[in-house]
Structure 1
Amino acid sequence: MKKLMCSVLALLTVFTCVGCRSRRDPNANTGDDYEVNLHPDTNVTATLRVAVNNYTAELKIVDELGALFKKKYPNVTVKAEPFASGISQQYSSWYNAGDMPDILINNTFDMFTLSDKGILLNLDPYIKAEAADTESDFDLNDYYESYLKMGQENFDGAQYMIARSADRVVCHYNKAIFEAAGVNMDLVKNGWTWDDFFTVCETLRTWYDANEREDYYLLDPYFTWEAVYNPIFEAEGVQYFDADGNVTLDKGDATENALKFIKSMMDKRYAAPISVEQAGMEANKGCILFHSQASSNIATKLQPYYPGQAVEEFYDVVTMPVFEGNEKIGCGAAGYSVYSGSENRDLAWQFLKVLLSKDGQNVMADSGANYVPVRKDMADYKDPTNHWGKGFENCNMSAFTYNCGANGDPDWNCYTTFIAQQKPKQATNISNAITSLISSYCNGNSYDTVIKSCVNAIERYIRM
């Protein structure tokens, strides 16, 4: 999961044309009162169009999922519809041309606006029908609840998107540098605290300064990304809005404490100032990265600096640091939705079920980026039947699934529920205002100045 914040304002303006052509009236299927068929004719002839980002790995996923789908529906062609522009721009173009694909790659932010405008199919009738069908092998309990919620209206309502993988922010690190610096590796374990992290960073900073790396920073933090800052804010007790929707960021000390905590890592020269280039872990300069990217993406970029070495000699991963007693780790979701006007909605649902199957999840892992399965029963990365751990059996891949709510474990996953406290059209505006708050404070502006500007901006958006 990269930072997935598209232009929601653009979505609002482009999906308002009256009389736009579509294969089915979008307004007819925005509720949950339509009929479903869980058992489409296996000999049906159709073309199922899947909107997908124009990347090699993404196209491979759709192609191989299509091959799995054809085993049951041999006369259905699964056709990828690649696009290089943002979701808002491309979907508006298709919608206004009356040519929307059946299945849409999506993310939480865009899902809010698309579902609010009636573009996405409410999937609840299918989920309920599966639960009532004695022949069904689909069970919501097979999947991490927090990732399912990322595809729901207001995180607890109708299901408009199915998450395709467990996208969680983790702490990627350069193991070779950690060991060369003499880091106490007993501290670097799943569930470690921010105090542990600061101790490790102090050791690393000392080693960097003594080894002609004094101009390098340690950490690529992405502090202005909601998946990183929001767990810190929530753990510090920040309340974005009250029950009536009024802005409360400026009430009490929580927001200032969270900002001071973030800035302290820049003051200590662990992280680069926000106005400066990132530390560059992937270029073997920095040695820590907070992100949800697949391990294969990071290790592949580091490999040229460690020729001939096994991946576990120079790379590993651990959970994000947490505040003891108030443990929160950022997560998000990319997934697939069904267009509300699709004439192939029953087949589209069957495609989503293939995606969520064990074979489908292995297709995701084999695409070139070892995406973490959204299925709880595939968490064991050392099990050779679970492909996502292939090549990383000697790394700590459990960081991606540690305390995600499976098997009675606590669920530390933290998602941006604050965006659901206002109208969907304001999700990006509000998040951008908070991003500006963090950037401005870390760039040296006073708390009083930046919090006033942030609150005024959000209140202005709410009134729009």
Structure 2
Amino acid sequence: MKAKIKKSALAALIICTTIMLAACGGNKGNNDNKADSSPSPSAAQGTEETKQHDPVEIRVGVPEWPGEAENVDAVVKAFKEKYPYVTVNVEKMVGDPHAKVLAQSAANELPDVFWLPDTSVREFQDLGILAPLDDAIAANGIDTGDVYSSMLGLGQVDGKTYMVPRDYAHVVTLVNTSLLKEAGLSMPSNDWDWNTFMDYAQKLTKKDASGNTIQWAVNSNIHWWAVWTPFALGRGGKLIDEANHKLTVASDPLVGQGLKDLWDLSKNGYALDPNGQYPEDMFMAGKVAFYFAVKAVASQVNDVAKAKGFEWDVLPFPKLPSVHAVGGGTSGYSVSATTKHKEEAGAFVSMFLTAEGQKAFNSAGNAVPVLKSMVNDDTWRNSPVEGKNVEAYTIAPEADILPILSSKLPVSLINESNTGYEEAMNKYLLNKLPLEKALQEWEDRINKAWK
């Protein structure tokens, strides 16, 4: 890892960076929340070792969208029980968090700890922004065997941890059960497969007299790696030949067969058209039966379903024909490579891998705990409403996969590969190129540059 960051390179990155995350809104008013620095009675009676520490103050940067600062404040309170000598100042990162970290790093103003999505870990590690966390995790007695390995892996580069995941979010299928009932269909079982999915898709899709779809089987989330990568593997294909530095999306015909399964959902009208114009989110409007998403969306779905008058539930991601692969994503907290308080900052992020920290952070119930030992904990299972098929959120963690291309390709080629996927998909869907030629273009653009 680079020990120092070249400010000129960072400045160029800031100019060229496209927004990778859309802020979900923010709270008005003061952007800084200073946590109570006075220890609780139980914390004040800490060990002699704790009492010998000089006071320390750390900054924690969080996204500005609603709820995040409040959830982190709950973690701060749990942290203070163990570290009463540490004052934690929670700061909202106004605007795009990705660009904010780059700007603060270039100005040498990074918080000691800051929020990070899994999609930024490799880039920021490559720039030397992130401190490795494995020593801190070990020093704080964390049992990493209790952490879902896929989520831990999303925060790692070359086997070293640079981001601690805050939740477990593998892809599930949100279901409009009212549409199933209207079609005379029962809720599929948790072991449903691709054949069952397609049977339901055909029965749930409705078209008008002109052949235009007016009710869709699925919002496939076709742009998201956590959906398309499992499909690329689903027929037994291999995306890359790592030893020879080759992308194999065209060379391995099984990759094309798997992607065709996904892309044909849109081409044949079963799934929303990624190039279509819709007046609103059609799943939220009650016009789509299935939606590939994560638990964080369930609270919004529950609220909208009440307002729109439809029922909903959740299923696992369907088992694909040859390989059971499930994508996912997470975000979490990292430590700045330039922090002067590595011990305390490392201890703070480690709190997210403890039962106390998880219960505190998940007090709102919008996430699945990242600890396997909390699979049956009521703090999340009954949220946003009781009676749902919550087992779907944690079924088959052994099928979880990592983002193969963004974890194996050179950092400089990740965005190029993402563009290659989008162009191949669109050229196929718009009948500009047959599947094989569209995939060949994607493969060629990467292999010419991958040395």
AA aligned to 2:299 is S
Contact 1:259 1:441 in 2 (8 A): no
Larger relative contact order (CA 8 Å, sep ≥ 6): 1
> Aligned to 1:106, what secondary structure does the other structure show?
strand
> Aligned to 2:246, what secondary structure does the other structure show?
coil
Match of 2:164 among 162, 165, 171: 162
Q: Deviations over 1:408-433 (max 9, x none)?
A: xxx01012123232222322322232
Question: Partners of 2:107 and 2:182 in 1: how far apart?
Answer: 58
* Match status 1:283 vs 2:285: yes
Q: Cα offset for 1:189?
A: 2.0
Alignment of 1:187-336 (within 5 A): 188-205=188-205, 215-242=214-241, 243-277=243-277, 280-294=282-296, 295-306=298-309, 314-336=311-333
Q: Cα offset for 1:320?
A: 0.7
> Aligned to 2:215, what secondary structure does the other structure show?
coil
Q: Structure 1 unaligned segments of length 5 or more: list them.
A: 1-9, 16-38, 131-135, 307-312, 405-410
Structure 1's 184 and 199: CA in aligned 2 closer, same or farther, altered over 3 A? farther
Question: Partners of 2:11 and 2:194 in 1: how far apart?
Answer: 40
* Match status 1:139 vs 2:143: yes
Contact 2:72 2:361 in 1 (8 A): no
Match of 2:420 among 428, 433, 437: 433
Aligned length: 404
Q: Cα offset for 1:339?
A: 0.7
Contact 1:184 1:200 in 2 (8 A): no
Match of 1:49 among 48, 55, 59: 59
Identity of aligned residues (%): 24
Question: Partners of 2:133 and 2:89 in 1: how far apart?
Answer: 22
Structure 1's 11 and 375: CA in aligned 2 closer, same or farther, altered over 3 A? farther
* Match status 1:378 vs 2:374: yes
Which sits farther off after the overlay, 76-85 or 345-354? 76-85
Contact 2:155 2:162 in 1 (8 A): yes
* Match status 1:459 vs 2:440: no
Question: Partners of 1:450 and 1:324 in 2: how far apart?
Answer: 23
Contact 2:58 2:86 in 1 (8 A): yes
Structure 1's 302 and 267: CA in aligned 2 closer, same or farther, altered over 3 A? same
* Match status 1:346 vs 2:339: no
AA aligned to 2:88 is V
Alignment of 1:18-33 (within 5 A): none
Q: Deviations over 1:377-417 (max 9, x none)?
A: 1111xx43x3353343310111110011xxxxxx0101212
Q: Cα offset for 1:366?
A: 2.3
Contact 1:42 1:74 in 2 (8 A): no
Contact 2:231 2:259 in 1 (8 A): no
Indicate the residue corresponding to 2:130 in structure 1: 120
Contact 1:274 1:443 in 2 (8 A): no
Contact 1:165 1:333 in 2 (8 A): yes
TM-score by length of 2: 0.82
Q: Cα offset for 1:293?
A: 4.2
TM-score by length of 1: 0.80
Q: Cα offset for 1:40?
A: 5.9
> Aligned to 1:282, what secondary structure does the other structure show?
coil
Q: Deviations over 1:349-396 (max 9, x none)?
A: 2212322222321233223x510000101111xx43x33533433101
> Aligned to 1:354, what secondary structure does the other structure show?
helix
Q: Cα offset for 1:333?
A: 2.1
Contact 1:370 1:388 in 2 (8 A): no
Q: Deviations over 1:105-164 (max 9, x none)?
A: 11222110111222111112223445xxxxx4x21122111211111114xx11111111
AA aligned to 1:394 is G
Structure 1's 12 and 257: CA in aligned 2 closer, same or farther, altered over 3 A? farther
> Aligned to 2:288, what secondary structure does the other structure show?
coil
Q: Cα offset for 1:459?
A: 3.1
> Aligned to 2:186, what secondary structure does the other structure show?
coil
Contact 1:121 1:160 in 2 (8 A): yes
Q: Cα offset for 1:460?
A: 4.7
Indicate the residue corresponding to 1:95 in structure 2: 105
Match of 1:150 among 150, 154, 159: 154
Q: Cα offset for 1:95?
A: 1.2
Q: Cα offset for 1:12?
A: 8.7
Indicate the residue corresponding to 1:389 in structure 2: 382
Q: Deviations over 1:276-299 (max 9, x none)?
A: 146611122222211124221321
Contact 2:317 2:326 in 1 (8 A): yes
Q: Cα offset for 1:449?
A: 3.8
Q: Cα offset for 1:53?
A: 1.0
Could you list the runs of 4 or more consecutive aligned residues of structure 1 that deviate by over 6 angstroms after TM superposition? none
> Aligned to 1:318, what secondary structure does the other structure show?
strand
Which sits farther off after the overlay, 391-400 or 358-367? 358-367
Which sits farther off after the overlay, 89-98 or 163-172? 89-98
Instruction: Provide the aligned C-alpha RMSD in A.
Output: 2.6
Indicate the residue corresponding to 1:69 in structure 2: 79
> Aligned to 2:237, what secondary structure does the other structure show?
coil
